[in-house]
Structure 1
């Protein structure tokens, strides 16, 4: 047996490794994290009706909404910022109540 004839058993694993490495590089390129492609913050099923500057005012608005029979929640995305969220079917009424509410 010559040395060249004995190396044919390496061809299969070398080809398989090359295909897997190429696929890995392609997937890494295709699914890389790009800040420009990130979706905006997801509110899920809720709709933002007001952005407040204080925690107390957001909680007070939530109490007013609760008295009106509107379910709501408050999210605090950053310091000195609170967002009041409601379900979409309640959004028009909630916005009307929030329009006359002080934001600070």
Structure 2
């Protein structure tokens, strides 16, 4: 049924269409750019950048002790704790061979 120009209803049709269009646009934006609540979380990134993994230990304290041994040998290192009961020791690639030999002789 067409809305006649003489009725007062034709003033409501334009804004109603605009509000419906804005509502649909808002729903689309929420779907497209939402936080993803309820979706599976993405796996953690395993990119070590410039560093090389030389040892994985079960305790952070042991990893810090190995890091001290590496530091005494002049090797720069860092400790990463990606999960409970897991600590990774990382070094620069040029020091990786020496660090691995020290890590294998490490009592921890």
TM-score of the aligned structures, taking structure 1 as reference length: 0.68
Task: Indicate whether 1:78 and 2:84 are aligned.
Answer: yes
Which has the bigger relative contact order, CA under 8 A and spacing at least 6? 1
User: For this pair of structures, how many residues does the alignment match?
Assistant: 99
- The answer for the alignment partner of 1:63 in structure 2 is 68
The partner residue of 2:104 within 89, 99, 104 is 99
TM-score of the aligned structures, taking structure 2 as reference length: 0.66
Larger Rg: 2
Root-mean-square deviation (CA, aligned residues, Å) is 2.6
Which residues of structure 2 form unaligned runs of 5+? 1-5
CA distance 1:26–1:61, change in 2 (3 Å): closer
Q: Which has the higher helix share?
A: 1
Which residues of structure 1 form unaligned runs of 5+? none
